[in-house]
Amino acid sequence: MDMSEDIYRDIAQAYSAAAEKAPGLKSRFAAAGFDPAAVRSLADLSGLPVMKKEDLLKIQRENPPFGGFLASDLKDVARIYVSPGPIFEPALAGGGGHGLDLLFKAAEVGAGDIILNTWMYHLVPAGLLFDEAAQAAGATVIPGGVGNTELQAQIIVETGVTSICASTAFFLTLADKVIETYGRDAWKVKTAFLGGEMGDWVAKRRRIEAEYGVSTWAAYATADLGLVGYEDGGEGYVVHPDRVVQICDPVSGAQVDHGEPGEVVVTARDATWPMIRFGTGDSAFALESNEDGSAKRISALQGRVGAAVKVREIFVYPRVIEEVVIATPGASAAQAVVTRDNDRDMIKISLVLEDGADVSTAETAAAEAFKLHSRIRADAVSVISELPENADLIVNQKDN
């Protein structure tokens, strides 16, 4: 399915109607000189400046709880979620866990499956979204939560759990507890829906799949939007059909070229909670684009855009330095430091190597990995004896 003009027609109608009900949205449009009714294309939509999460937080503090952005009656709001900040997100009675059922359908999990859902049900949306989505797909859900490892291991064995929704770490804790307590034959779980970690955690997942005999799946969802993209067996996340996703420069808000990393900016087709040109703060790049230039499939998340440092017009994310460590023989840690020298951005990489590692091999490998993942050259790669524990992967000293 390619992005049709219909989605822009729907956006034009939905957001013009929403602006009449939501004074905060109306003033956002007025300040930008933006007429939602005139939207016919991605280019028209892009005339609206991106709204950041920080902006929404500030607007809500000035006019709680929703900052004048709720475009429906309070009686239609089924739940209010609370994100750190706090930001209040109204959830209307939405079918299918706001699109997450598409993930369960892609994984062919449904009627006859018993799912242990360990995501939190309090304040945040993860637990309830997964619960609704699993039920919409026809599965049976056990609301588990985190902790109570022994009890949950017993539940897995005695109820015949076939699928687990969990963070990668907690999934491993549960699987190991079942095997240690009840033996390998008691482990009958077939699928795991794991929390989307930043960057390329595929290697970790492949190990889990091989070791525990499960298929692993993930989605990219946020409290404000519900599902943005989901895995379908291909690379990265396929974009939800009711979302327009753009990859944008986090500073200017302009769309970046296909394949370049930038901020994930999302517009929802429906405007009851009017998320139009909303900057998620997450970074990714387009793996596949629609004809109009919007993203059809996006990469795994590269990190938070605030953690990126712009070096010679390219945003370098902490994830790139993780990739350098993975690709460098004998490397145990690395850090990049960005400075400015005679009006030129300089980036230098420091490596910590394990005993006996070959220095020149490591320096060459690190330089190549950095260039591959950031598309710029490092000015220097050097080996140091140690870095403090939890040292930042990338340090910006340009303004010092």
Select the more confidently predicted residue: 108 or 198: 108
The answer to whether position 131 is within a domain reads: yes
- Same domain for 198 and 118? yes
- Same domain for 290 and 349? no
Select the more confidently predicted residue: 33 or 309: 33
DSSP string, 191-202: EEEE---SS--H
**d(Cα 13, Cα 30) in Å, to the nearest integer?**
17
- Same domain for 112 and 208? yes
Looking at residue 373, its pLDDT comes to: 85
- Same domain for 236 and 212? no
What is the number of structural domains in the chain? 3
Residues 242-253 pLDDT 10s: 999 999 998 899
Cβ partners under 8 Å of residue 33, min gap 6? none
Chain mean position to CA 187: 30
Q: Which of 259, 287, 304 is the last residue of a domain?
A: 304
How large is the angle between the packed helices 168-182 and 202-212, nearest 10 degrees?
A: 20
Residue 115 confidence (pLDDT) above 50:
yes
Q: 31: domain range?
A: 7-93+221-304
Looking at residue 316, its pLDDT comes to: 87
- Same domain for 257 and 368? no
The pTM assigned to this predicted structure is 0.83
CA angle 308, 379, 374 (to 5 degrees): 40
- Same domain for 107 and 203? yes
Which tokens go with 268? Answer: 């929802």
The answer to whether position 213 is within a domain reads: yes
State whether the Cα torsion 4-69-78-109 is positive or negative. positive
The answer to whether position 205 is within a domain reads: yes
Q: Which of 180, 197, 217 is the last residue of a domain?
A: 217
Looking at residue 1, its pLDDT comes to: 43
Residues 185-224 pLDDT 10s: 999 999 999 986 665 677 889 999 999 999 999 999 988 8
CA angle 60, 61, 63 (to 5 degrees): 60
Residues 20-61 pLDDT 10s: 999 999 999 999 999 999 999 999 999 999 999 889 989 999
- Same domain for 108 and 126? yes
The answer to whether position 2 is within a domain reads: no
- Same domain for 112 and 192? yes
- Same domain for 205 and 227? no
**d(Cα 235, Cα 74) in Å, to the nearest integer?**
40
- Same domain for 209 and 251? no
Residue 291 confidence (pLDDT) above 60:
yes
Which tokens go with 366? Answer: 């690190």
Residue 391 is part of a domain; what is its CATH number? 3.30.300.30
What is the radius of gyration, based on Cα positions, of the chain?
A: 23
The answer to whether position 187 is within a domain reads: yes
